[in-house]
Structure 1
């Protein structure tokens, strides 16, 4: 079999490296200005860690918002850990970079979408920039969990 360059996989690795760099900067300096993130990830990823009740509520994917309140952001080479508040219940999460499906910063209309690979299927190499999440997208609003 002829050797080929897997541009799709290389692009995904580069974009996940970009996410790591952004999160490392936030870990060191906090979120600048109006920047905030919507991060959708695969809750079935073997390395993803989240509370059982969250896993039951979001059995395949979950979108979290990193904006006003977050704590214990720990950025590593394989993923990041963070504490987010769900109502009055702070919960620790670990999100592996390769579990991330979308990463969006609406403040600057920047977004990345990682296409899922199915077994035996080559990555189509698509990493797309996207605009703000569309109203019909499956975005979990954390406003319903916030104390008003």
Structure 2
């Protein structure tokens, strides 16, 4: 089996995380336009995540936040974003690295992305060393989530993307995956 030295899967992940970064930067600069709002699910145990202890206890693995009506102080950098949200009328500051995000959705646009677990290595060298030592399953590109699968409550995580059961659109190891197959027709 040929070795993927260029790591296109990681390039795709980083490019799509850039979509989230850019959308948040636009909202930080001008506010949410129209009926747009975001569901962002992230790993609470990921390196760099800063949330209140009681939130980490309530959501030990993943947490979904909604950026819609009540949010303050959205600050976006190249590596993370920080935002203040209200939890039971208590304002809490959250710092979330983009690498910790597992899904992003804007139901108003019927747009969503689901991400693989990030390795934490930005230059690829450390990650290359780890991948050479331990075999892993072939990478699956981030997929578009259907808007109806999302929940409107912040207390529950967003639903997972449906799994393909048929052969059509199924990614095989070493095959080219076109993003058009994930778009609604």
TM normalised by structure 2 equals: 0.70
Distance 1:126 1:82, change over 3 A: same
> Which is greater in Rg?
2
CA contact (8 A) 1:73 1:82 kept: yes
C-alpha displacement of 1:117:
6.1
CA contact (8 A) 1:35 1:108 kept: yes
Give the Cα separation in 1 of the matches to 2:153 and 2:70.
Answer: 14
Name the structure, 1 or 2, with higher relative contact order (CA <8 Å, separation 6+): 1
Give the Cα separation in 2 of the matches to 1:26 and 1:39.
Answer: 14
- Residue number in structure 2 paired with 1:19: 20
* Residue-by-residue CA offset, 1:23-65 (whole Å, 9 max, x unaligned): 1110000000000000000000020000000000000000000
Q: Which has the higher strand share?
A: 1
- Residue number in structure 1 paired with 2:111: 110
* Aligned positions of 1:1-148 closer than 5 A: 4-116=5-117, 120=134, 121=136, 124-132=139-147, 134=149, 141-142=153-154
CA contact (8 A) 1:72 1:81 kept: yes
CA contact (8 A) 1:64 1:140 kept: no
**What are structure 2's unaligned runs of at least 5 residues?**
120-129, 156-185
C-alpha displacement of 1:130:
1.2
C-alpha displacement of 1:132:
1.4
Give the Cα separation in 2 of the matches to 1:123 and 1:18.
Answer: 23
Helix, strand or coil at the partner of 1:129:
coil
CA contact (8 A) 2:113 2:142 kept: yes
TM normalised by structure 1 equals: 0.86
Q: What is the aligned-residue RMSD (CA, Å)?
A: 2.2
- Residue number in structure 2 paired with 1:146: none
Helix, strand or coil at the partner of 2:149:
coil
